[in-house]
Amino acid sequence: MWMMTYHHQIMHCVHVPNNKGLSNTINFKNIKQVAVFLPSLTLYSLAPILMDFAGLEFDSRLNITEVEEGLLISGEEWDKFNTSTDLSLVGKILGHKNYHVDTVRNILAKAWSPGKGIDVKQINNGRLIFTFQHKLDWKRAFEGGPWSFDKRLVVLNCIKPDEDANSVELKWCDFHVHIKGLPLNKSIKGMVELICKRLGKFKGFPADSKLDYVGGSIRVRVGINITEPLPRFMNIRSDRGDIIVVNFCYEKLPNFCYYCVLFDHMSLSCNKRYDDY
């Protein structure tokens, strides 16, 4: 089946699925190119064309029709037409590979061990929706990470009410981080929290909720922005010239690019590798 989609920033493309579940894509820059291509498309395919006009810029002289004007419903009806997303997660396997949804389900189910089962559906841009049957299974998947698939990072996030699954932010991932090099006299809760908040989002200490200084390092839970290079160390200075350098060690770290320290691609496909050659 041919499927046409229009993305934001005026990117128009036609997806042609093949027998491997992947798609060949033809891109367009404006609506005129689409209009020229559509008639010829029907000559080669009798399958229906699925068109999504979201984000497409039309001529400003076009009037909004009555249907486009919208639908007005009561607040009571608005709340009535709801289905719970409390047991669902949106996720993505970082990288450029495409995986069959059944393979993803089987492998992650072994890692998560959901006692009441799990359903996995694939949506746009490599995103997946994981639906659990029990809150304990959902909690283990969401809070027990980081998780990896084929040694690539799996990013997960919950879905807010009335939020489109394609718009859910997938840029944060929780890691257990070991802070090394912090002097014993500075290893107090306030200092550690300041470091973690600069590193990302402070999520707390281990289960006993105590500051644990073992082997010269402190173990904490931190949300890391995976769209930015992974921090390796941090300089901590005072306004009078004092300085401390702490290093970060991450547990369960999956594969990443060693040139730019990002998770969304591997070193072999990094542009910096070619620029530095």
Tokens 């973690």 locate to 196
Q: Are residues 176 and 163 in the same domain?
A: no
Domain boundary among 120, 151, 167: 167
Residue 37 belongs to a domain: yes
pTM across the whole model: 0.71
| Rounded Cα gap, residues 263 and 152, in angstroms | 8
Q: Are residues 23 and 58 in the same domain?
A: yes
| Rounded Cα gap, residues 35 and 61, in angstroms | 18
Which of 145-154, 242-251, 267-276 bottoms out in mean pLDDT, i.e. has the lowest? 267-276
Per-residue exposure over 58-90, b if at least 16 CB sit within 10 Å of its own CB, e if not? eeeeeeeeeeeeeeeeeeeeeeeeeeebebbbb
Give the pLDDT confidence of 138-190 residue by residue, as tens digits: 999 999 999 999 999 999 999 988 889 999 999 999 999 999 998 888 888 88
Residue 259 belongs to a domain: no
Domain count, the chain: 3
Is the Cβ–Cβ distance between 60 and 33 less than 8 Å? no
Residue 125 belongs to a domain: yes
Q: Are residues 155 and 176 in the same domain?
A: no
Is the Cβ–Cβ distance between 180 and 256 less than 8 Å? no
Residue 14 belongs to a domain: yes
Q: Are residues 58 and 114 in the same domain?
A: no
Expressed as residue numbers, the domain containing 163 is: 88-167
Q: Are residues 155 and 185 in the same domain?
A: no
Residue 114 belongs to a domain: yes
Q: Are residues 161 and 185 in the same domain?
A: no
Residue 29 belongs to a domain: yes
User: Between residues 243 and 41, which one has the greater pLDDT?
Assistant: 243
